[in-house]
Structure 1
């Protein structure tokens, strides 16, 4: 049942301040934050890591760490001041008035209990008993658009896709009909199509339940697509607030403008380098006078360092904490563009990497087999970037593992490096082949051993792969550190002492330790803030031009793929569905699956053309469809031939191949819809 107690706002923060007690003194992490979210409204909170976004979510539920406290102001949820509630009233507020959906649904669900048991537990807390708990749980799964709730109730979390797990978590959160639903980076690990489905679902449920949404994210495009209003946090202060579309179209604070400039949405590879905000957010309590953004601001003057700006009212529902909010359009470039001199490649360049008829079949119990990859052939030129896109389960990671030798391809396939065939297994490859193919992982925290220093992490890679030690090793480590824009001061540091961007720079330096020919970049920026992401993308571009290394870029962020890629390959269910120059693939004509991926990508303007919704899940690779593997979900399916005969895959004069029975003149070209710009110009996701 939908709430009827709508007199008070769902959330009111009135000069909320939070401090952490560290080494005998209080460090302010939130300072005088004021905002209101009405019932049924979606409000986005954006900013870099360390800006205080998650602290807001913790404070309004009074679940701060032991050394944290609300040091001033008020936080009211459904009219209740959380700081004054007794223990029983606080538990009641958490149980009924507020719910939270976290970034990783896999960690939010208990892997040892069925979904049904976990859904029933929610209704048990709400007072339901016996079979009623399960009946209401199944009904709730239906309300979040799960087509077979009975099957999902009987499943364990690991048997569900990431998108389905997130739907279950949303169902559990909304089961108690909360006044406020907090979404903390709920789409970061999801594919573009699943992300779009989850955001559409949340928006529909917001209207249906009347719940207020607090959406915390560094994905500016996702925030723009869901939220009507946005607040920008920096160093614990709300520096700008206003309607989402107006704020992103015409930012009135240099920090907001800087974040937007970091987005890869200016064009294809070879275009202008991304801008990025220099330096790092200040430590809590380190700036006691003036504007907290002044040390990183291109407009800062002496007044900014001496006088803290108030929140200036600058129009209907808008405010900016900047003395020069009317001069933001004059903000100069905040970082020096890297010097990129890409040499011209001739028409007959020998590929550095060539994959011929690669397939990968896994054996399952009961003499079953699953073909994770089928007959993939492609090549990679020196200094070229191949973007690899597709939903989870499409075969991208399997292909990367075959290239790296971490999995062995089926008989009949061949991998050639600089014209010489190499063994399927990394253990059978010569040292030169091993050091020639490296990888940069998505999460530097998982990739770097936290027990070792930066000097050891990079030095060990130099020693083992390049085969040098002593003074020569140390010299190479320092040169690598300089190449990724770090200094010798970071050499004795351990990963936990570095920011996320610094850790990823260390991971990039380690990948370049042996002068590789090919680097697999597996979602290298998806876990990073947009300001750090732009710096890493510029770094990868500069290093590629300087060293002529080739990249295989795996990403679900089409803006990143477009910015870095020379060519793009689209995969589905282990098959290559489309491959060609980046501009041809994104501007069309393109495969119906590519068209659906492009239509799902959110834009920072908040505007979308007609989104092409793919019905159902990716079929099981254990029993793939006959004919075209995409035919069970294809919105352009037109004849029996799609179910019985696999389409051809012949490239045109530009090397653009599309696996589809439809003639090219009938295939999509960009996105359609009222006022929707071309797909190639709007596929940037923040």
Structure 2
């Protein structure tokens, strides 16, 4: 069952003024034989007892390097070349190894972005968890296993006794992350470092993990240093926030103050990049930050953000020795023009919408995909999936991992065949035709943009190679000169210089690689683009630029798009229609306004409630926390597939019978036993709690 979390309250009382962790003028260098890289030139901040401090910035700004310096994990070439790191009054810089070993794991612990990097694949969960109290608390093995089982219950993992016997690969991503959190908390640390702890997790799993960390923080009085590029998550999890740029702090303030009145242009830019659940693409366009973080060897004089700042003024912003200036109580900013720029807010014009419903470009009718596993077992990846996408429409497929989104994408692109059902495109059923058997015009008309652009680009060839290859394969242009000219046009279309064609993928940033992948996808002039999590691995600023670019190109080319994502705020901004899937079935489908603005399926309601917001009013939403695991696709429930986790479950009918289709409008359908009028009526916040 589920429970509805209490509204997240305003941050608590001001913590003690004596810092638990004090970082002063920290300078971190990586020294090689040929050169020395200054990763962090000068950084200062502090974390108070019981406080949650967020460190935010784009990739390459030095967040994780700072965390590794605190832990003493800079490796053979990393050196703290200056400054101080004091923890509970003790200096950690140049501390002897035995002292650091006594502190690490016991008084300071860390939760990493990838839980598998912290778990040993050949040891059971119990053996790994028991090491912590045995090493740091002097517990016996029996006592340590008892403590481990109790901590697994604290992090809400079911059947702790069975969980202790499992190996890491037998757990889901969310379960692995909970085990890593349990491992970090077993030593009862005073400070917990969290380095992107929820990246790659489903929105519902992320919500549960973050709520769990907050609950455990309150229970054990642990201070948090929270590193993330997810501003919504930081806004709802931290008391104070520091914004890092190119190795230095450019702004620091209490959370509400920083997100309510940001003063540094970089902070304002990051906030402008975030999709707003209250606005779609027809009311607002994301304002991406131009340029990129400079390399350590290319830092400019004066303000490091100067080359990317619209408010840059020569002779003022390029003066050396720029310091943090007080703005208000506990609010500092590194900008000489902040009084003039404090009200600056970039807003780009929205995309114009289409008034008439477009003709169908691709139609899915009862698509089913079963995988026979032997021993009379069948995995039901998709079952009776039906929807359509109109010409130049963007249809978003959303749902947790394992819901069947990517399987559907594989069938559309010919990487797999449907077991039954039809996918009609240009009058032809393509559901059972694999790519190898598809005619060239059909291959040309359907292209894909992958989550990881490295899976598209050959590391042994230049970035221009894949674009030229697509142009040549589909006969878009004839002759080397014409192909090269079209390639240059495509690069300009994705706002890259033609010079990028000669670069190898290893010489490109993540955003540049994804732009090349988009150029390659549009090289064949497709009528359908399948975008599978195309920006989930990118920084918020790069994500905004790529999304805006993708929308612009899609509209100009009148291409239809299937947009697969677990980011509901991004879906709200991008999509025209939304299809919500759970365990291979469609739970709900409708226009983006119907999904986000009216009656919804209980599962959709939970997904939307899990969205984190940077706006103060967003933090007051009732959050629905889904408990329990998704049922196995090999043994699907007989009734509603969401029944075991539903916070609005009516009773045994939900377990016995498949739900009827409630037609809320001509375009909006919900598969649920709850009557249509009850789905439409607003519910009291405590209703779900009462039924739990």
Bin of the TM-score, shorter chain as denominator length: over 0.9
Is residue 536 of structure 2 the alignment partner of residue 526 of structure 1?
yes
| TM-score when normalising by structure 2 | 0.92
Residue 303 of structure 2 corresponds to residue 295 of structure 1: no
Aligned to 2:3: none
> Is 1:279 aligned to 2:291, yes or no?
yes
Tell me the distance in 1 between the aligned counterparts of 2:266 and 2:395.
33
> CA offset at residue 560 of structure 1?
0.8
Q: Work out the CA distance in 2 between the residues paired with 1:43 and 1:231.
A: 8
State the distance in 2 between where 1:669 and 1:295 align: 52
What is the match of residue 325 of structure 2? 312
Q: 1:365 to 1:148 in 2, by over 3 A?
A: same
Q: Which residue matches 1:608?
A: 620
Instruction: Judge conservation of contact 2:124–2:167 (CA < 8 Å) in 1.
Output: yes
Matches within 5 A, 1:413-562: 413-422=421-430, 423-466=432-475, 470-562=480-572
Deviation sequence 1:22-55 (CA, Å, 0-9, x none): 5655443213211111222111100111111111
Does the residue aligned with 1:375 lie in a helix, a strand or coil? Answer: strand
Pair 1:177-2:188 in alignment: yes
**Residue in 2 aligned with 1:649?**
661
Q: What is the CA distance between 1:128 and its match in structure 2?
A: 3.4
Equivalent position SS for 2:488: helix
**Are the structure 2 counterparts of residues 23 and 325 from structure 1 closer, same or farther at C-alpha, using a change threshold of 3 Å?**
farther
Q: Which one of the candidate residues 314, 317, 322 is aligned to 2:335?
A: 322
TM-score (norm 1): 0.92
Kept in 2, the 8 Å contact 1:465–1:513? The answer is no
Segment of structure 1 superposing worse, 194-203 or 392-401 = 392-401
Q: How many residues align?
A: 664
Say whether 1:200 aligns with 2:208: no
Deviation at 1:114, TM superposition (A): 2.1
* 1:384 equivalent in alignment to 2:367: no
Post-superposition shift, 1:233?
Answer: 0.3
Higher mean Cα deviation, 647-656 or 77-86? 647-656
Q: Secondary structure at the match of 1:501?
A: helix
1:660 aligns with 2:668: no
Contact 1:221–1:603 (CA<8 Å) still a contact in 2? yes
How far the C-alpha of 1:65 sits from its partner, in A, is 3.8
The match for 1:162 among 148, 173, 185 is 173
**SS at the partner of 1:31?**
strand
- Residues 141 and 332 of structure 1: CA distance in aligned 2, closer, same or farther (over 3 Å): closer
Are residue 38 (structure 1) and residue 48 (structure 2) matched? yes
Indicate the SS of the match to 1:91: helix
1:133 is displaced (CA, Å) by 3.1
Alignment of 1:41-190 (within 5 A): 41-126=51-136, 127-190=138-201
Q: Does 1:241 align with 2:252?
A: yes
- Contact 1:350–1:418 under 8 Å retained in 2: no
Q: Distance in 1 between matches of 2:501 and 2:681?
A: 50
2 CA distance for matches of 1:27 and 1:641? Answer: 64
Rounded to whole Å, the distance in 2 between the matches of 1:539 and 1:195 is 28
Task: Indicate the residue corresponding to 2:265 in structure 1.
Answer: 254
Offset from partner CA, 1:427-475 (integer Å, 9 cap, x none):
2211221222221111223442222210112222333344655233222
Instruction: Say if 2:662 and 2:672, in contact at 8 Å, map to a contact too.
Output: no
The range that moved more, 653-662 or 104-113, is: 104-113
Superposed CA deviations along residues 336-370 of structure 1, whole A, max 9, x for unmatched, are 769x666x4744x4422111110111112322112
**Aligned counterpart for 2:226 among listed residues 215, 228, 232:** 215
Q: Distance in 1 between matches of 2:473 and 2:320?
A: 54
Report the CA distance shift for 1:58/1:472 in structure 2 as closer, same or farther (over 3 A): same
C-alpha distance in structure 1 between counterparts of 2:31 and 2:283, whole Å: 47
Q: Indicate yes or no: 2:408 matched with 1:399.
A: yes
Q: Deviations over 1:454-497 (max 9, x none)?
A: 01122223333446552332222212111111111211111111
Distance 2:17 2:101 in 1: 22
Structure 2 Cα separation of the partners of residues 287 and 598 of structure 1: 41
Tell me, yes or no, if the aligned pair for 2:264 and 2:342 is still in contact at 8 Å. no
2: CA distance, partners of 1:257 / 1:414: 48
> 1:31 and 1:434 mapped to 2: Cα distance?
51
State whether residues 356 and 376 of structure 1, in contact with CA within 8 Å, keep that contact through their aligned partners in structure 2.
Answer: yes
The answer to which of 547-556 and 266-275 deviates more is 266-275
Q: Distance in 1 between matches of 2:112 and 2:139?
A: 25
TM-fit CA distance, 1:333? 3.4
Alignment gaps of 5+ in structure 1: 1-5, 675-686
SS for the counterpart of 2:433 is: coil
Which position in structure 2 is the counterpart of 1:370?
Answer: 379
Q: Return the alpha-carbon distance in structure 2 between the equivalents of residues 12 and 214 of structure 1.
A: 12
For the 8 Å contact 2:208–2:626, the answer to whether it is kept is no
Contact 1:588/1:669 (8 A) holds in 2: no
| Residue in 1 that maps onto 2:344 | 331
Structure 1 contact 602–608 (Cα < 8 Å) conserved? no
Q: 1:502 to 1:66 in 2, by over 3 A?
A: same
- The question of whether the paired residues in 2 share the 8 Å contact of 1:610 and 1:673 is answered with yes
| Offset at residue 85 of structure 1 (A) | 0.7
Deviations 1:102-134 (A, max 9, x none): 112234322332212222233343343433332
Aligned-residue Cα RMSD (Å) equals 2.2
Spell out, residue by residue over 1:81-103, the C-alpha distance to the aligned partner (whole angstroms, 9 max, x if none): 12131122122222422221111
TM-superposed CA distance for 1:673, in Å, is 6.0
Query: Which has the higher mean CA deviation after the structures are superposed, 384-393 or 464-473?
Result: 464-473
Greater relative CO, 1 or 2 (CA 8 Å, sep 6+): 2
Say if 2:627 is the partner of 1:618: no
